[in-house]
Chain A
């Protein structure tokens, strides 16, 4: 099977790659580009561990083909901090101990960032529904919700 040539922007940088026609964007990111921050928890779009944004829209990268990303802008966890400076969500996750094992953390952070871009002042219920596509098995979500609410408040002040 011949490979497909794709040109994208990932975290602001122009990236070109070739991939097979049936290869997921998640596999391209992880296996071809070395961006292993997105995780495969299920491969069926149920766990959200592979969350990225495509042209600003929150997406499970396991449900998108690498070839489909041609011409789009992709945002991954690796692009969330600004150099040394963590995104407020990343900082608040650490301060609130909102992670235990950390496998779901990249996907949840990407999802939370997308949520706050659409809704800078979410209620607890809105945070809970905004993150309902991301499974976490360690925390029971309590500290995650607190961290997102706290980060939202700080971002509104800034």
Chain B
């Protein structure tokens, strides 16, 4: 999408870059904000889902007759209620299979039936009356085990794509990817030192505090409404309508306030089931997941196994970099290994580079996006090796990275050549940061790492209405997961030249606005923000035309300045400026309502880089790690609301701390998840952490009128490696497996002691 070339990109801001209170703030501190589970409807039923206790089992028979006869049960649905309407769309068929098991249950927690009843007790009792005849099958949950010949095969339809010749036998390897350029074998021959290591990371969950929840209401006329906590209500509408054979226009979806998503709410789980129950019962049905269900049956991220090999000259220049990444993404195709492989070496300026990725299925819940999906694990592996190489050639980690860093003009490891990027500025700023000079205490180590994320644009539609008093109603279609309504109001106010509090932004339902892609890929402040700016410019055109009409002069003889229409110069005439309110008040007499719109596929999302620094203290007695200091330096392009940019930096870093030290999906030999709760799946709590210091750098993105880059995801890419480097420095031994839990650290210390 080309920007209006008559408009210079803005550098001088009045309201963008300030820190006003968010418009949804009062509701959120008083308990009034309505989240997914907070809605009710007259005659509402309670929906509950029955889930497979087996990791892998053929479903021979489902008998719901007793449940249907229980007093108070109004509907029961099974696979029989979800006929295949996917018309050859393999990805959509996987969604259908995931929301309700078909011939097999593919993971513990896979939905197999659902009921709607007058209350929760009756619904629970009804689930117990459903009889399922399972034939339990061998299962596999580990990525490396799933790739071995002889492993239990989940789907007889998967024949590895991307290899020649195409295999004749089905396996769990969905696809092989390869990215890179140059000749890595030749590059390694030029190397003086080569480090090669294998890394493992465990699956983690996004851990949003709000479980999935929705309220469905479908009438006998086939019209439906759905209230749901989601990152993309247009996606929910389109997916549910297609799965259930409804016209898209007949399903209206409203996004509730959303209690965290981090990528985990970018697909559907309970929504089609709630709609099917409602349609069958002809009553509103509310379905809310328990935390146990969230862990077992939503979409955690991939577990991985990664080999990295990097060669350098004695002078510290990388000659070749090679990686093989194996990611399991649960029971269906689509682990984030493609993004992982593309981003693996994105921070470096490399002549010879290759990254090979394998997408693997296992008997685990189908993964969903988690903040920069696929990238943190790859960065963990690469940045660990980079740190080791730096020390081997006698350089500091930071100087080694500066020497090899990608910069403007570098051909990236995944193809495109970089424009202006912020990696070197974050490194140089990190080097000057007081954190780097601070002394370390006993048993403490310092680590650093860099991270990269692509960022995304996507389909976006914004409507900006000028009210008769000159205030502005802004309708966007991207759910606000971290303060984006405040950022939209700031950008509209900046463009229109009116105060921030004169703009009110809402997230419109699917019947009130055109299609919008999901809030993902760090795209909202960038893409919805740019659409807001362009909608405001559209409104300004109309406002100046109305002023011209009132004055009886040509529209192009009117300019817009600080919220007022003014004659463009002395030749245009001598008229006192007209405010937005004065023009709006006369709208009825000058042609009707005044509104600006913008609909587009946003292009030009600038890539984003960060450098993190961490001090970790390892207790040699217990193996426990404490993060004592943490600093995030990241390029935001332009920070629209700096407080919420800092919040994204801090939140991503802390999710990374959890991933590095504590969090993991633990499976028993029976293929069942052993820690499906916040007691045993321990996310960081307040007392685990120090303050998270932030430095916002602003290297403008040429693809956005204000220079904005997405900031939400990059912040989780460096922490795994940053902490691994800090812990390895503190322990005096290289840690290559996440999470770095106390038993693993103790074992590494024992190995070190045995070797000495």
Asked if A134 contacts B210 (CB within 8 A), the reply is: no
Report the separation of the CA atoms of residues A38 and B210 in the bound assembly, to the nearest whole angstrom.
Answer: 12
B259 touches A39 (CB 8 A): yes
| Per-residue interface assignment for chain A, residues 121 to 158, with 1 indicating a CB less than 8 Å from any chain B CB and 0 otherwise | 00011011101111111111111110000000000000
A:76-118 near B, CB below 8 Å: 76-78, 80-81, 86, 90, 93-97, 99-106, 109
Q: Is B291 an interface residue (CB 8 A)?
A: yes
Once A100-B483, A101-B260 are accepted as A-B contacts, the answer to whether A38 and B31 lie under 8 Å apart by CB is yes
Which residues of B666-694 have CB atoms within 8 Å of chain A's CB atoms? 677-679, 683-687, 689, 691-692
Pick the residue among B19, B210, B643 that contacts A103 (CB under 8 A): B210
Partner-binding segment picked from B315-323, B423-431, B645-653, B742-750: B645-653
B209 close to A135 (CB less than 8 A): yes
Q: Are A131 and B686 in contact (CB under 8 A)?
A: yes
* Across-interface contacts of A137 in B (CB, < 8 A): 206-209, 260, 262, 651, 655, 683
Chain A positions within 8 Å of B650 at CB level: 139-140, 142-143
Q: Is the CB of B683 within 8 A of A94?
A: no
Given known pairs A39-B210, A102-B257, A129-B687, the reply for A139 and B28 (CB within 8 Å) is no
The reply to whether A101 and B208 contact each other, CB–CB distance below 8 Å, is yes
Q: Does B211 contact A41, Cβ atoms closer than 8 Å?
A: yes
Scoring B residues 208 to 232 as 1 if CB is less than 8 Å from chain A, else 0, what string do you get?
Answer: 1111000000000000000000000
* Chain A residues in 8 Å Cβ range of B260: 100-101, 103, 137-138
Closest chain-B Cβ to A100's Cβ sits at a distance in Å of 4
Pair A41/B31 contact, Cβ less than 8 Å: no
Give CA–CA (A93, B33) in the complex, Å: 15
Bound form: Cα–Cα A143–B648 in Å: 11
CA distance A44 to B681 in the complex (A): 13
Which residue of chain B is the closest to A110 with respect to CB atoms? Answer: B31
Residues of A within 8 A of B29 (CB): 86, 90, 93-94, 99, 102, 105-106, 109
Give the CA-CA distance A141 to B688 in the complex, in Å: 10
Q: A103-B259, A136-B209, A140-B692 are in contact. Are A97 and B30 (CB under 8 A)?
A: no
Query: A72 interface residue, CB < 8 Å from B?
Result: no
Inter-chain contact A100/B481, CB cutoff 8 Å = yes
Q: In chain A, what residue has the closest Cβ to B482?
A: A100
**Could you say which residues of chain A place their CB within 8 Å of the CB of B691?**
124, 142, 145
In the complex, A138 Cα to B34 Cα: how many Å? Answer: 18
Interface range for A:
35 or more
The size bracket of the interface on B is 35 or more
Q: How far is the CA of A39 from the CA of B28 in the complex (A)?
A: 12
CB–CB B259/A102 < 8 A: yes
What is the CA–CA distance of A76 and B30 in the complex, to the nearest angstrom? 10
**A15 contacts B by Cβ under 8 Å:** no
Residue A49 CB within 8 A of the other chain: yes
- Does B290 lie at the interface of the complex (its beta carbon under 8 Å from any beta carbon of A)? yes
- When distances are taken between beta carbons in the complex, the residues of chain A under 8 Å from B262 are 137
B residues within 8 A CB of A106?
A: 29, 31
A40-61 vs B, CB cutoff 8 Å, 1 = contact: the mask equals 1111101101000000000000
A16 interface residue (CB < 8 Å to B): no
CB neighbours (8 Å) of A140 from chain B are 647, 650-651, 653-655, 684, 689, 692
- B508 at interface, CB cutoff 8 A: no
Is A78 in contact with B686, judged by CB distance below 8 angstroms?
no
Q: Tell whether A80 pairs with B30 under 8 Å between CB atoms, given A41-B291, A44-B677, A140-B654.
A: yes
- Measured between beta carbons, the chain B residues less than 8 angstroms from A68 are none
Which chain A positions have C-beta within 8 A of B689?
Answer: 128, 140-142
Chain A residues contacting B643 (CB-CB under 8 Å) are 96-97, 143
Contact B33 A43 (CB under 8 A): no
Q: With A43-B291, A100-B647, A102-B257 as known contacts, state yes or no: A94 contacts B25, CB within 8 Å.
A: yes
Chain A residues whose C-beta falls within 8 Å of the C-beta of B647 in the assembled complex: 97, 100, 138-140, 143
* Residue in A78, A80, A102 whose beta carbon sits within 8 Å of that of B24 in the complex: A102
Q: How far is the CA of A132 from the CA of B208 in the complex (A)?
A: 17
B686 x A144 contact (CB < 8 A): yes
CA distance A2 to B29 in the complex (A): 37
Whether the pair B678, A78 counts as a contact (CB closer than 8 A) is no
Give the residues in chain B near A8, CB-CB below 8 Å. Answer: none
Would you give 17 A-B contacts (Cβ < 8 Å), ordered by A? A39-B259, A46-B679, A47-B209, A47-B678, A95-B21, A100-B482, A100-B651, A102-B29, A128-B686, A128-B689, A129-B686, A132-B686, A135-B209, A135-B678, A140-B647, A140-B650, A142-B692
- Given contacts A95-B21, A139-B654, 19 further A-B pairs with CB under 8 A are A30-B38, A38-B31, A39-B209, A41-B209, A47-B209, A81-B30, A101-B208, A103-B260, A104-B259, A128-B686, A129-B686, A135-B209, A135-B678, A137-B209, A137-B260, A139-B647, A140-B654, A140-B655, A145-B686
A interface residue numbers (CB < 8 A to B): 20, 30, 35-44, 46-47, 49, 76-78, 80-81, 86, 90, 93-97, 99-106, 109, 124-125, 127-129, 131-145
Which 6 pairs of residues, A with B, have the shortest CB-CB distance? A37-B31, A103-B259, A140-B654, A102-B28, A97-B643, A140-B650
